[in-house]
Amino acid sequence: MNSQISPSPQFYLTAPAACPYLPGEYERKVFTHLVGPRAAEMNDLLTQGGFRRSQNIAYRPACEACRACVSVRILVDQFEPSRTMRRVLNANSDITAEIYPAQPSTEQFSLFRTYLDSRHQRGGMSDMSALDYAIMVEDTHVNTRIIEYRRRVEGSGIGAAKGELVGVALTDMMSDGLSMVYSFFNPELEKRSFGTFMILDHINRTRTLGLPHVYLGYWVKGSAKMGYKTRYQPQEHLTARGWELYTGEDEA
């Protein structure tokens, strides 16, 4: 693929396809390539404009008759965890997290397959191979990192054993915060609300960096599996008028 990028990126429109979130609906996406020396800058601008990244593609919904997909970002400085969220943090106090360059591993892929086989057997990612996973992680021209979550073990220093890998987040480091591109975890930890724990960890990391936002991607009105995204308050939703404070009225 050509690694050059023109001063003005070229945008393309996909053909209609079945919507993965709302039965009976069809989706279209507008997309462009994130390559070349300005890829990170372009990723920032496009993410702030409602796009999401997948490998070296930035895309956003462009459906003809539906506006259910809404970009969501958490306002980190004002965020306070609820009592339930504090219990989640306590339940996962035995977990450590380390950040690394965006490089795949066999251990990550094994956990990824376990997660897909448990949670997304019929999804579009269900048949992903080790090579597909490696491409998902490595095919990036922006500032992307892998965060590994492990059970804490005693001991430290050179040669110390690593704890069991229980979660992974693929995260873009942006000028105004962190964007959670994709995350997965050991399904056995679902009772610990481990997905919630990883979002809370990203909020804490963003606050430590002195940046204002955690981008969660799209909240889809009417999709039960996307409902969790509105729990992290306060947050902003991208509307036709720009980023606006979410009040819950969209769910009425």
Average pLDDT of the residues in 193-205: 97
Same domain, 157 and 210: yes
The β-bridge partners of 74 are: 214, 235
- Strands 177-185 and 144-151 turn out to be unpaired
What's the pLDDT tens digit per position in 31-84? Answer: 999 999 999 999 999 999 999 999 999 999 999 888 899 999 999 999 999 999
Mark whether 154 and 245 lie in a shared domain: yes
Tokens coding 12: 């393309």
CA distances from 10 to 14, 27, 209 (A): 13, 20, 33
Q: Clarify whether residues 203 and 94 are in a common domain.
A: yes
pLDDT, mean of residues 190-217:
97
- Please tell me the total count of domains within the chain: 2
Give the CATH number for residue 179.
3.40.630.30
Structural domain including 179 reads 72-251
Q: Name the average pLDDT for the chain.
A: 90
Question: Which is more confidently placed, 1 or 232?
Answer: 232
Looking at residue 82, its amino acid is: S
- The β-bridge partners of 53 are 58
Residue 102 burial (CB count, 10 A): 18
For 20-30, what is each residue's pLDDT tens digit? 888 888 999 99
Q: What is the dihedral of CA 52, 49, 56, 28, to 10 degrees?
A: 60
79 belongs to a structural domain: yes
What predicted TM-score, i.e. pTM, was given to this entire model? 0.90
Burial of 130 (0-12, 13-18, 19+ CB in 10 A): middle
Residues 208, 210: Cα–Cα separation, whole Å: 5
Same domain, 44 and 87: no
